[in-house]
Structure 1
Amino acid sequence: MSNESQPKRQGPMGFGPGMMGSVEKAKDFKGSLKKLFAYMGRYKIAIFIVFVFAICSTVFSVVGPKILGKATTALATGLGNKIAGTGGIDFTYIGKILFTVLILYILSSGFGFVQGWIMTGITQRICYRLRREITEKINRMPMKYFESRTYGEVLSRITNDVDSLGQGLNQSITQIITSTATIIGVLIMMLSISPLMTLIAIIILPVSAGLLAFVMKKSQKFFKTQQEYLGHINGQVEETYAGHMVIQVFNKEKESIEKFNETNDVLYDSAWKSQFFSGLMHPVMMFVGNLGYAAVALSGGLLAIRGAITIGDIQAFILYVRNFTQPIQQIAQVLTQVQSMAASSERVFEFLSEEEEDQFVENAVSMDDIQGAVEFKNVRFGYKEDQTIIRDFSVSVKPGNKIAIVGPTGAGKTTIVKLLMRFYDVTQGEVLVDGHNIKEFNRRELREVFGMVLQDTWLFKGTIMENIRYGRMDATDAEVIEAAKAAHAHHFIKTLPGGYCMELNEDASNVSQGQKQLLTIARAILADNRILILDEATSSVDTRTEILIQKAMDNLMMGRTSFVIAHRLSTIRNADMILVMRDGDIVEQGNHEELLAKNGFYADLYNSQFEQAS
């Protein structure tokens, strides 16, 4: 199928429309967080335990400074008595206080460790669940989604967005709980020491809140854009890498780098701005905190001179002031993480809410004993509503017939196959298998009836034996070898190091393109399906091998309904019926001799091949 008749998807050199658009704000910040928290509902007991443990850790930590202040007061009093000659330092009392503080801090650390361990487990389970649901979602999504997006953009949802969501979730929830509890606990302890000094300390809160609101407003759109263009970068890098040979052959390195730089500039701009606002918060909050710290120290000194508070209380209060500003800074930092997490979760949940194919049909027709009769009735179809590819396609195919589909590039040949397997649904008309509309079958069961060999081979990282067995997972080694022999692949496999146990690399580049084609043909032979679809199956092999494969295909197709798409018309001369397509319609049909006798469009196509060769 030509590119003219398919949905456009970005190629190795391109980006697709809209990628260089204006910065996009989060569509639904609150809604994304609401979905995420609802998603965490199954872990509410564990999260409640985290909440309790975080509070316990905070309480033990907050009580420590005030008790420690008693040791300072006892030490100062003892020194004063010793100087005055009225007594000495009570080290036993001070030792008991220090031991008590040590126990409190140990308990605080223990509770903190346990709640962190539990929260990490919850986060990883959520990430695992999201990745699993995304993977399952992919299998339920229509083909048009993937044909209109880059692979890297889809992969970014599974990797970058889920990772960012997990990191933010793991750090933000416990940090918000502990920081909030610390603020409340410290405030209570400060009030118990001196309401006046507490009033001075909390004056910094409005300033902090104002700075926090400013950062929230400014940075969210940059975090959203950062995640979005990270997906675009991944998509371009993946496709440029896959097509690097084509890029070099056409000397398009410069254009590729320029387009990459355009996307990278947007990513850089949004990333540094988001990180700048995130990083700016800490020094500004430190400055505001130090102002409060100085004011408290001055007022505490004056109150101590008047005898309103003890030296230990001043020490404890100064520690509380430091502990009071620190959680505010932490919350400020965490909220920037929450924004990044919200942007990531929004993209993940957008993907999970994408349109799905209807996998199951109520009272579906059974696929048992399928004979292989296929009929297209007045089929009309277009990938877009305003662009019709198939105008009025009708044909009836008997079980066991070999049907060849020929025509110029863009005529709609591959589209017919996609409609037959319900990768797309027809706009008008209907497609029948054994007299039943294919919409009456479950999609998965329908596709199990078909075996396919495509022009674009697909092999995965694994042994040759595993790649052929992919056609039928329960096949024995002997059956795999027989299928390879039928596809005339056995000889070349035996010459490879390791033979059938040789492992193909990630893109199967350690075998030739023709050998890849032979392996996929062997896979289709092993699958032994009722209906076969061969889309330019012999396009990547030499003439001698093509003749051998053609014989194997004739044996394979015997007794099976077969659809063969071919540009080399010499390979389909023995077809029971040849459908000649042009502009989405069947302009001629018949066998090879009948069509040549008509001296029409098919005859022109057939003879043009020999004219070009001569």
Structure 2
Amino acid sequence: MSKNSSVKFILSFMRKNGGNTFIFLAYWISVFFVASQNFFFNYYVAKGLQTSVDGMMQKDFSSFLGGFILVLRSFGILIIVMGIFSYINDYVVKKITSIIKEYFFKKVLRLKPFFDEKYTSGKIMTLYNSDIEKVESIYSNQILNLLMAIVGALGGAVIIFKLNKYIFIYIITIGIFNLILNYIFIKKMKVNSRNIQNTISKQTEHISNFLSGSYIIKAFNNENFFIKIFKNTTKKYFDFSKKRAKYDAGISFVNNASEYFEFAGLLIISGFFSLKGAISIGSVLLCVQLGRPIIDLFKALSSYFSNIQSILASTERISNILNLNDEEINEKEFFENNTKNFQETPYAIEFDNVSFSYNKDKYIFKDLSFKVKSGSKTLLVGNSGIGKSTILKILLKYHTNYSGNIFVFGKSLKDYDVHELRKLFSYVPQNSFLFNDSIFENIHYGNINKSSDEIIKVSKKVRSHEFIEKLPNKYETTLTNNGNTLSGGQKQRLAIARALLKDAPIFIFDEPTSSLNEKLKDKINSVIKNTMQNKTFFLISHEFNSEDYDEVITLDFNKVKI
């Protein structure tokens, strides 16, 4: 997506994707009033000074006093009105940012699994924290500051032009000269800003990798290696930032020089016309006061184009991920009042000449065919790397680019909506994942409509209740770092409890005991056998054990033995 399209997309959140007409109008009305405050401040100060100074020169006390009263009265009104509109503007900006963050979270949640390898968890976190913060500055600072400068400059320019066109031409000339010099520096900053954001993203990735893999890093004594990698990234960030500092210093020099020339020139030119009697002393002060916002406009344009480079890079990255394709999801709840008995269908799962490959050169499996009877306990056995886990990912529609036919309860997999399909499966992956939340909520995620009693019931079924009750906070014990304070068997039992709570017609297990010792394997296998009554149970393993299974399917390089 181009940068212009990215900005349009980000601004669209005022009215779409969670925004509405009220937010849109509230933002633009409030931002216009807040942007006008500098002009009104400068205008009433200039008019007050003009009136007071001219009254002083003419020894007119009422005019002299009138100027101060005008300023004080205007300030009182501005403080109240601008305070109200500043609050409205800040509220609306925070609301829009919340909408973008919520939309971003929903989008990431609905993206196809394995949607793009370049989006690591570290990059996603950088997008959410750093880049969305920069996107917020479009609403909170960039538009406001630019509009503030435009309103102040236009108001001042009209008044000065009416007062003396030569002074007006001088100010505009200085401003254009300032803008041209700034543009030279800004042009060099585009690539630099993108590089800075990329290195920030890399730093976040490194920290994320260390936090999630600290045990492995320490076990292999690789701390110094990771420190070296982080140092290299930090050095790159410093080098890019140092270059940015040079450009910023150049822009600052140009802006300060322009401001000094403008002020000195204004005094000389307006003083000249005052000596000639063309304008009063008060008008000289008015020109000085209202001339600054015109120069400020050109400085604001320079600052805007300078800051916008890194903001555009952020909006582009955010927009790219927000425009990735979602899974095909039907938002309507499926089978809310469903009374269908799935066991009446002869086969729960059917693969008919199914082929799959990650690339066209090498198939994971080809022309694969097998059937799993409804209500049966079926074991799929095969060596590691032969495609067993891939079968599960296809069944859950994580991968859709397969050929052949797959049926679930007699209906083609391609005809299922993603939500509709996944409600049919209770899934226990090879590596049980536990959220940074309480034990209660970790089980509750299986079915958020279930009660506390039902959560305790499934915990007892999988023999987790005992060890949970021994913990200091029992079910309210908070787990962190994927439950690293629990044993492998305890974690696996919680994952099985979560799957049981869902109570789907098909249970699928992917190598549920592969990382456990023999004692724990026996415990988990016992739990599985005793809790899968009246369900279709489909277990994938590389270990051959036909005991207590109705059917064993052996997968051996595309050959299926039953």
TM over 0.5: yes
Asked if structure 1 preserves the Cα contact closer than 8 Å seen for 2:50 and 2:67, the reply is: no
Match of 1:11 in 2: none
State whether structure 2 residue 44 is matched by structure 1 residue 66: no
The runs of at least 4 consecutive aligned structure 1 residues that moved more than 6 Å come to: 364-367
| Contact 2:382-2:542 within 8 A present in 1 as well | yes
Is the aligned partner of 1:46 residue 2:46? Answer: no
Among candidates 184, 203, 217, match of residue 187 of structure 2: 217
The question of 1:29 aligning with 2:9 is answered no
Contact 1:517 1:541 in 2 (8 A): no
Q: Which position in structure 2 is the counterpart of 1:548?
A: 523
- Structure 1 position 344, deviation (Å): 1.7
Q: TM-score, normalised by structure 2?
A: 0.90
Letter in 1 for 2:165: P
Q: Using the TM superposition, name which of 184-193 and 497-506 deviates more.
A: 497-506
The answer to whether structure 1 residue 497 and structure 2 residue 472 are counterparts is: yes
Task: In structure 2, give the amino acid aligned to 1:49.
Answer: I
The code of the aligned residue for 1:564 comes to L
Match of 1:357 in 2: 327
The residue type equivalent to 1:310 in the other structure is: S
Contact 2:35 2:144 in 1 (8 A): no
1:300 is matched with 270
Aligned-residue RMSD, C-alpha: 2.6
- Residue in 2 aligned with 1:127? 97
Aligned CA distance change for structure 1 residues 273 and 113 (closer, same or farther; 3 Å): farther
TM-score computed with the length of structure 1 as normaliser: 0.83
The amino acid across from 1:73 in the alignment is D
Question: Are residues 430 and 58 of structure 1, via their aligned partners in 2, closer, same or farther at CA, if it must alter by over 3 Å?
Answer: same
Max radius of gyration: which structure?
1
Structure 1 residues 111 and 179: alpha-carbon distance in aligned structure 2, compared to 1, 3 A threshold: farther
- Over 3 Å counting, the alpha-carbon distance change for 1:272 and 1:579 in structure 2 is farther
In structure 2, what is the Cα distance between the partners aligned to 1:117 and 1:276?
37
How is 1:229-248 mapped onto 2 (pairs within 5 angstroms)? 229-248=199-218
Deviation at 1:497, TM superposition (A): 1.6
Q: 1:301 to 1:426 in 2, by over 3 A?
A: closer
In structure 2, C-alpha distance between the alignment counterparts of 1:554 and 1:247, rounded to whole Å = 37
Are the aligned partners of 1:408 and 1:582 in contact in 2 as well (CA < 8 Å)? yes
Secondary structure at the residue paired with 1:145? coil
Matched, 1:167 2:137: yes
SS in 1 for 2:114: helix
Say yes or no: does 1:113 pair with 2:93: no
Tell me which moved more, 502-511 or 95-104: 502-511
Summarize deviations over 1:39-71 as a string: whole Å, max 9, x none.
434443223413542465344224221331221
2:414 is aligned with 1:439: yes
The counterpart of 2:358, out of the listed 383, 392, 399, is 383
Moved more, 445-454 or 260-269: 260-269
- Return the letter of the residue paired with 2:257: F
Deviation of the 1:514 alpha carbon: 2.4
Once the 2 structures are TM-superposed, how far is the Cα of residue 263 of structure 1 from its aligned partner?
A: 3.5
Task: Compute the displacement of 1:274 (Å).
Answer: 4.2
After superposition, the Cα gap between the structure-2 partners of 1:265 and 1:427, relative to the gap in structure 1 and judged at 3 Å, is farther
Residues 517 and 540 in structure 1, CA contact (< 8 A), matched pair in contact too: no
Amino acid at match of 1:369: N
Residue 524 (1) aligns with residue 484 (2)? no
Report if aligned partners of 2:429, 2:511 keep a CA contact under 8 Å in 1: yes
Q: 2:18 corresponds to which residue? A: none
- The Cα of 1:312 is off from its aligned counterpart by 1.8
- Post-superposition offset of 1:555: 2.1
Report the equivalent of 1:567. 542
Check 1:423–1:217 CA distance in 2 against 1; reply closer, same or farther (3 A cut).
Answer: same
Larger CA deviation: 144-153 vs 430-439: 144-153
Structure 1 counterpart of 2:56: 75
1:23: which partner in 2? none
396-405 or 274-283: which moved more? 274-283
Closer, same or farther: CA 147–57 of 1 in aligned 2, 3 Å = closer
SS at match of 1:321: helix
**How far did residue 131 of structure 1 move?**
1.4
Cα distance change on mapping 1:503 and 1:40 into 2, 3 Å: closer
Which consecutive unaligned segments of at least 5 residues does structure 1 have? Answer: 1-26, 79-89, 591-614
Counterpart in the other structure of 1:250: 220
Q: What letter is aligned with 2:195?
A: T
Identity, % of aligned positions: 25
Aligned-partner Cα distance in 1 for 2:39–2:118: 54
Aligned counterpart, 2:312: 342
Q: CA deviation at 1:357?
A: 1.8
CA offset at residue 109 of structure 1?
4.1
Distance 1:345 1:494 in 2: 48
* Higher mean C-alpha deviation, range 34-43 or range 245-254: 34-43
Residue type matched to 2:144 in 1?
T
| Aligned pairs for 1:288-437 within 5 A | 288-360=258-330, 368-371=340-343, 373-437=348-412
Deviations for 1:155-214, whole angstroms, at most 9, x for unmatched residues? Answer: 222222111110232111121111101111111222233222222222212212212322
Go from structure 1 to structure 2 and tell me whether the alpha carbon gap of 1:293 and 1:478 turns closer, same or farther (over 3 Å shift). Answer: closer
- CA change 1:185–1:361 in 2 (3 A) is closer
Of stretches 105-114 and 184-193 in structure 1, the one that deviates more from structure 2 is 105-114
Q: Provide the C-alpha distance between the structure 2 equivalents of 1:74 and 1:461, rounded to a whole number of angstroms.
A: 72
Q: Distance in 2 between the 1:500 and 1:96 partners?
A: 73
Q: How many residues align?
A: 549
Range with greater deviation from structure 2 (191-200 or 511-520): 191-200
Which moves more between the two structures, 387-396 or 295-304?
295-304
**d(CA) in 2 for partners of 1:281, 1:126:** 32
Q: Which moved more, 1:408-417 or 1:258-267?
A: 258-267
The answer on 1:57 being equivalent to 2:50 is: no
- Assess if the C-alpha contact under 8 Å between 1:69 and 1:315 holds in 2: yes
1:580 maps to 2:554: yes
C-alpha distance in structure 1 between counterparts of 2:323 and 2:489, whole Å = 40
The structure-2 alpha-carbon separation of the partners of 1:210 and 1:582, relative to structure 1 and needing over 3 Å to count, comes to farther
Residues 384 and 424 of structure 1: CA distance in aligned 2, closer, same or farther (over 3 Å):
same
Query: Which string of whole-angstrom CA distances, capped at 9 and with x for unpartnered residues, describes residues 221-273 of structure 1?
Result: 33233333433322221122110111121222233233333444444444444
Question: Cα deviation per residue 1:392-433 (whole Å; 9 max; x = unaligned)?
Answer: 211011112222222222111100111111111142112111
**Mapped partners of 2:290, 2:103: distance in 1:** 46
Does the 8 Å contact 1:119/1:174 carry over to 2?
Answer: no
1 CA distance for matches of 2:326 and 2:500?
31
* SS across alignment from 2:432: coil
**Counterpart code for 1:226:** I
Shift of 1:358: 1.5
